[in-house]
Structure 1
Amino acid sequence: MKALITAPGNTAIVTDTDVPEPATNEILVQIHSLGLNPIDPLYTAHPAAPPGRVVGSDIAGTVKKIGEGVTSWRVGDRVAGFLQGATSANYRPGGFAEFAILEADLAIHIPDSVTFEQAATVPLCSLTAAQALFIRLGIDAPFPNPLKREEQLARPPNILIYSASTSVGLLAIELARSSHTPAGLPYRIFATANIKNHAKLLAAGVEAVFDYRSETWPEDVSRASGGISYALDCISEEDSTAKISQTFIKSGGIIAVVRKTAWHKDGVRDDVTPIYSAVWSGLGHEITYNGGSIPASPSWRAFTVEFFRFLSAGSTSNPSRFPIKPIPVRLMPGGLESIVQDAFVLLGVGKVINRSTDEERRSEPWMKPVSGEKLVYHVYD
């Protein structure tokens, strides 16, 4: 099969490799569409392991073969999922290929009205958002949560999602809107984003959205909300976390951050605690990652299983759709061979603030800056 594999020179190339065989409780997926995430170019340019690793995380396709003990899937079923790929020093499988392996209970059923392209935008970023909201921040989940906190303090139901037009931010809005406080109240969602995305976010159910480039946005958020109780920093760079901390209620709280070290600790309020976790913990395997080791966590894996069941069941009002809206798709031309030369250039390999400016970008229409959408490729039609 063809696969995008890390190569000498901190790059990746499409080459031939063996089709993997599903082991017990695994399924072989023929990949139709794949979705890009910033970690894909990041760990290609800054490899965690020697060359030879299949890159990529988000995939959607059909079940091609079933391993021993699998009773929940049949050949031909439409599924989505995510893999760790080249982000770990220890071996973990990747997804940017013609075929990939998923563990049977970590595959998501794609409802009838959802396309492969839409499904490929969901797995990794929706789980990142779910872990942030329902594990780290501790709000009530709309599905059975094995990591639910037994007691919660009574706090105003005010959530701030910083950089809400990112994939994680858009999916966090969807999940927060489907949740309620222990008292049954809906969460009030506040957001920051580029002005061009404000109307989209308001239509998605955000109560108020603020321009993150404004000097006064933290004060404006505090004034509009009466103080934030929960926050998700979808960028976690430079002073973003510190500014978010200034919006909190007097008793402080927790900010879920998506990066471990790219944000400045200086300026973060003493009573506000930023908490990071690796989405890969949800796969339930030990990870050698970012210079350290994260042990396998059966409880975090159990959370993923329940969350993916929630997605697989579809919306209560329309089971042919996901219970949350997929990310808008930018379908990129070409296939595996175009990922490095196009998508990796668009996403960059560093901080979001260092991505190419309009003046530096290429002229092709599919190479415009990414905002409020997910880059998706076809692999097999």
Structure 2
Amino acid sequence: MRAFVFEKGSFKVTELPKPEAGTLEAVVAIKAAGLNRRDLYTPGRLGNDSESLILGSDAAGVIEAIGEGVTDWQVGDEVIINPSLRWYENSDVPPADFDILSFPDNGTFAEKIAISVEQLERKPAHLSFEEASVIGISPLTGYRALFTKGQIEAGQTIFIPGAGSGVATFLIQMAKNVGARVIVSSRSEEKRNAALEIGADVAIDTHADWVELLKEEQIDVVIESVGRATFNRSLDVLKKGGKIVLFGATTEEVVDFDLRKFFYGQYTLYGTTMGSREEFRACLEHLAEFNTHPVMDRTFSLDEAEQALEYLKENHQFGKITITI
């Protein structure tokens, strides 16, 4: 089979043996695989002396073979892959054996994958394979941040710095689905306008004076993923007693902030990453209930996978990127 791998410091498309279904596993013929920022960071974790590893965490496809003991699935079923490995029940933190698909195991940028059927879900009927291929890391991360941690409700206001990421576009749509008010920021006027088109109520320039622009707003929850560049600015516009939910740091990871200001403001800070299968299934139900489609930016072929990673690295996208296979 053909696969896109990182090996000894470089990317390449190569031929690999076809996987076989083990006990309680299925082989999925992948139709499309979604990109995530994780795919940019994994090569750095592997180093230049690494053995071959297939990148990619998200995918949608069709079951091609099933292994011994599989009873709930059959050949021909259309599925999506849950990349949150072995985290089944909702909990404050994932279990000790939790991993995210593609490190240390082979991922989804390949024609086929053998994977535990515990990680499979039915492909939502209202989504194409390309759309379904990005229902993984981004919406799961966003769902847990928004509902499990942020506990956002109708009538509340949420602020999302950085409007163009895949998670942000899901956050905008899911928050609007439940009746929340959504404010976003971006350096790009094009991305600010795109955010308004998919439901954001207010879109402000990242370089503007947030305190002045948002002085009439009562922001209940900030969903932060930018890091040092925006963390304190986000805290400045959060209402007293509000919540910050943090799931990433695309800028510098170390942040200094005023502890006295924080505890006088009675703020709550939550950290979160990924989510459980229970939350993943709730997320799928949410998307189906509201007929929500992911915001798709661009589609690349498997041979263009390295170009797709470079495109993501340069932050050109608004929404999700997928690779058709």
* Normalised TM-score (structure 2): 0.81
CA displacement 1:102-131 (0-9 Å, x = unmatched): 443433333444221122222211011012
1:175-217, Cα deviation, whole Å (9 max, x unpaired): 21233xxxxxx32211112221233322322221111121x12
- CA distance in 2 between counterparts of 1:53 and 1:99 reads 14
Give the structure 2 partner of residue 277 of structure 1.
272
Is the Cα–Cα contact under 8 Å of residues 229 and 253 in structure 1 kept in the other structure?
A: yes
Q: For residue 14 of structure 2, what is the aligned residue in structure 1?
A: 15
CA RMSD of aligned residues (A): 2.7
User: Equivalent residue for 2:295?
Assistant: 327
- Alpha-carbon distance, 1:35 to partner: 1.6
Question: For residues 115 and 302 of structure 1, do their structure 2 counterparts lie closer, same or farther at Cα, with a shift above 3 Å needed?
Answer: closer
Distance 1:102 1:277 in 2: 25
* Pick aligned residue for 1:197 from 185, 191, 211: 191
Partner of 1:365: none
Task: Name the one with the larger strand percent.
Answer: 2
Counterpart residue type for residue 229 of structure 1: D
Taking a change above 3 Å as real, the CA distance of residues 156 and 176 of structure 1, as seen in their structure-2 partners, is: closer
Aligned to 2:231: 241
**What secondary structure is seen at the aligned counterpart in 2 of 1:225?**
coil
Matched-pair contact (CA < 8 Å) for 2:228–2:249: no
Residue 96 of structure 1: how far off its partner (Å): 0.9
Q: Which moved more, 1:259-268 or 1:247-256?
A: 259-268
Deviates more, 1:204-213 or 1:256-265: 256-265
Q: CA deviation at 1:261?
A: 8.4
Q: CA deviation at 1:82?
A: 4.5
Q: In the TM superposition, what is the alpha-carbon distance from 1:245 to its structure 2 partner?
A: 0.8
**1:128 counterpart (141, 149, 153):** 141
2:21 & 2:173 partners in 1: Cα distance? Answer: 33
Give the TM-score normalised by structure 1: 0.71
Who is 1:370 aligned against? 316
Shift, 1:34, TM fit: 1.4
Q: Aligned partners of 1:29, 1:331: CA distance in 2, in Å?
A: 20
Secondary structure (helix, strand or coil) at the match of 2:252 reads coil
Equivalents in 1 of 2:251, 2:169: separation in Å? 23
Letter in 2 for 1:159: I
When residues 302 and 26 of structure 1 are mapped into structure 2, their CA distance, relative to the original with a 3 A threshold, is farther
- Once residues 242 and 79 of structure 1 are traced to their aligned partners in structure 2, the CA distance between those partners, rounded to angstroms, is 41
1:24-80 per-residue CA deviation (whole Å, 9 max, x = no partner) reads: 443221011112112112211342793222211111211111234444433222222
- Gapped regions of structure 1 (runs ≥ 5): 141-154, 180-185, 283-299, 317-322, 349-354, 356-368
Give the Cα separation in 2 of the matches to 1:218 and 1:93. Answer: 45
| Distance across 2 between alignment mates of 1:7 and 1:57 | 17
Q: Any idea what the Cα deviations from partners look like across 1:303-340, whole Å, max 9, x if unmatched?
A: 334434555xx236xxxxxx3221224122x42x3212
Kept after mapping to 2: 8 A contact 1:64/1:75:
yes
Residue identity matched to 1:212: T
Unaligned runs of 5+ residues in structure 2 are 84-99
Instruction: Say if 1:31 and 1:137 are closer, same or farther in 2 by CA, change over 3 A.
Output: same
Q: Which residue of 1 aligns with 2:2?
A: 2
User: Which residue of structure 1 lines up, in the alignment, with residue 279 of structure 2?
Assistant: 303
Question: Percent identity among equivalent residues?
Answer: 24
SS of 2:238's equivalent in the other structure is coil
User: Alignment length, in residue pairs?
Assistant: 302
Distance 1:41 1:262 in 2: 16
Q: Is the 8 A contact 1:121 1:327 kept in 2?
A: no
2:289 is the alignment partner of 1:343:
no
